Each structure stands twice: as structure tokens, then as C-alpha cells.
Amino acid sequence: MTEIKSSPKDYRSGFIALVGRPNVGKSTLVNKLVGEKVAITSPIAQTTRNRLKAILTTPKAQFVMVDTPGIHKPHHLLGERLVKSARSAIGQVDAVLLLLEACFLPGKGDQYIVNILKQYNLPVLVVLNKWDLVSKDDYFNREEAYKSLLKELDWPIYKCSAFKGIGTKQLIEDLVNFLPKGPYLYPPDMVSDQPEKLLLAELIREQVLYNTREEIPHSVAVTIDRMEEIVSRSIKKKSEGCMAILATIYVERKSQKGILIGKGGEMLKSIGKASRLQMQNLIAGPIYLEIFVKVAPNWRSKPSSLSFLGYEEDK
């Protein structure tokens, strides 16, 4: 095991769970705080499947953020595992960031989550996210509405825009006080605990969701089958290194495969191009990407295929 550099005196470190309904901006906030793309974000709900830890190291503290899948009513086996995973994440942290969507009035779903969190004896900081979407005329009433949702609870409220990075600095400064004294838990230059392959697969899945919208629901999974450094022998390009990546997108039905490939392969081409650009940011170098599409019927309901695709059940 590599030894982790010793932390400064009076250092703090701990785990923080990001909790909130799907689409409130949990992944966006994690990315903004960490400053690098580690969690996938999408305008379509429920895209964070694997428990992802993102790590932010500042001179005062190390925050290990657990981006939980959205809490919601489960519809099928995959949904059940997502909810279980979110609940078990809450049980293992030092503080919770509860994200609420300020652009809407509080609803039953928010009350449901508040009730769950009340059962734990944990500090909760409330992020009223997407505050940039609230019109000035609504500022006062919107804040009051959320205050009444949280009545009798002494949870501090932060009006934020994860997207624009508004209010996030203060949030992090205050969050330090809720972490116990302790050393680095991860090397200070690490931003994610996920293997690179999984992050790359998530980038492709994100592009599938962006490009196909509702046509391909959540019945899609991605695996990275091979990664290989290749050296181009072309004289013009000298011997520039390049990372070759082979990936497979799994869908449930043949019709979905057709949509993903598109007319004359156009859809798959756009997905590939956009994914490649994202991957180049992550790996910082040229990438050759080839994507295959395969049909794996009903993979969401089969425990064996769930494990195969990396969605392990929590112990």
C-alpha cells in the first residue's frame, strides 16, 4: 500500500452524503466542488447508479463526498437497489447535504426525504439549489416555503446554484466545522475513488442519455472492454501516443439498438464523438474510441446481469 502524505496540524476529514430527489443537482454540485468532472450529470433523472465518492482536499479539510442515487419510490429491481444504496450511504457519514430544488415549491417528495433524514442523528446542511432559476419576485416566498418545510429543525439553509457556482464556497467553509479532526483519508491529489474505466463508461452513458432523451429510457448500461495505449507510426504525426478504447452499450430491446445506431449510424457517431471529447478531458490525450451496441434482454431485472454490469448490491 502506498503511504499517504501526512496532513497538516488540526486537520479535519470526513464523509458527506449528498441526498435529494433525482435531478436536484447532486452530481452538478459534486463536480463544481471538486472542480473536475467525476459525477455524470444529465437533464434526465436518475443517472447516478454507482455509489461515487468524490474527494475535495483543501488546506483545512478533506471532504469525501458520497453522491447517492436519488431517493424515490422503487419501480423495479434496479430502483430498489438504488434506494437501498442511498439509505446505506446516509448511515455511514459525518454530515449530510440535503439538496432541494428551489425552482419548485416544496412537495411531498421533499417531505418524504426530510422525514427519512430526521431519523438519523446527523448534522444536515440544506442546499436550496437552482436558486438562479428563481425569479426575484419569488425570492422571499420561496425561502419562506422551504423554511416551513424545515420548521422545528435547526438545519442551516444555503441558497445555491451548483451550476453557476453561487453559494458553494460558503457551504464548503461551513461544512469544515461538521467534520471530525482527522488525517487525510485519501491522497490529497485524488478526486475520485472510482476506477478510470468506470468513469469512462459513465461518460458514454451520459452521452447516450443526452442524445436519445426519452427514446432510450434507463435500460442502458455501458462497459469498457479494452483500453490500450497505441503508438501511431505515421511519419507526419511523429510517434504520438493515443489511447484506444473499446466499449459496449447494452440495451434491452432490438428496437433500442436501432435507435442508438440511428440512420446510417449517425446517432452512434454523435454519441461516440461527444464521448471522445469528454474522455480527452479526463485522460488528457488523444483517444481512439470504438463503441459496439448489444442487446441484453431485461438486464435490469436479473441479479446476475446487474452484478456483471457493475451495479453490486450493498452489503
Residues that bind ligand GDP (CB under 6 A): 20, 22-28, 41-43, 47-48, 70, 129-130, 132-133, 161-163
Q: Which helix (H) or strand (E) holds 173?
A: helix 168-175
User: Is 134 within 8 Å of 143 (Cβ atoms)?
Assistant: no
Beginning with the edge strand found earlier in the chain, give each strand of the sheet holding 287-295 in spatial order.
Answer: 220-231, 241-251, 287-295
CB of 245 to ligand GDP, least distance (A): 24
Please identify, using beta-carbon distances, which residue of 27 and 62 lies nearer to Mg ion: 27
Is residue 271 within 8 Å of 315, Cβ to Cβ? Answer: no
- Shortest gap between Cβ of 65 and ligand GDP (angstroms)? 12
Cα-based distances in Å from 38 to 31, 113, 158, 283? 6, 25, 23, 12
Q: Which residue is nearest to ligand GDP (CB)?
A: 25
- To ligand GDP, the closest distance from the beta carbon of 112 in angstroms equals 15
* Residue 17 C-beta: closest distance to ligand GDP, Å: 13
Give the strand pairing for 157-159 and 220-231: unpaired
129 binds, among Mg ion, ligand GDP, none (CB under 5 to 8 A by kind): ligand GDP
As a whole number of angstroms, the distance between CA 206 and CA 287 comes to: 18
- For Mg ion, which is the closer residue by CB, 26 or 130? 26
Closer by beta carbon to ligand GDP, 28 or else 207: 28
Residue placing its CB nearer to ligand GDP in the complex, 70 or 109: 70
x/- map, 18-57, Mg ion, by CB under 5 A: --------xx--------------------x---------
Size of the chain in residues: 315
Tell me how far apart the alpha carbons of residues 8 and 59 are, in angstroms, rounded to a whole number. Answer: 8
Out of ligand GDP, Mg ion, none, what residue 161 binds, judged by CB under 5 to 8 A for its kind, is ligand GDP
Q: Minimum distance between the CB of residue 242 and Mg ion, rounded to whole angstroms? A: 31
58 and 14 Cβ atoms separated by less than 8 Å: no
**Contact footprint for Mg ion (CB under 5 A):** 26-27, 48
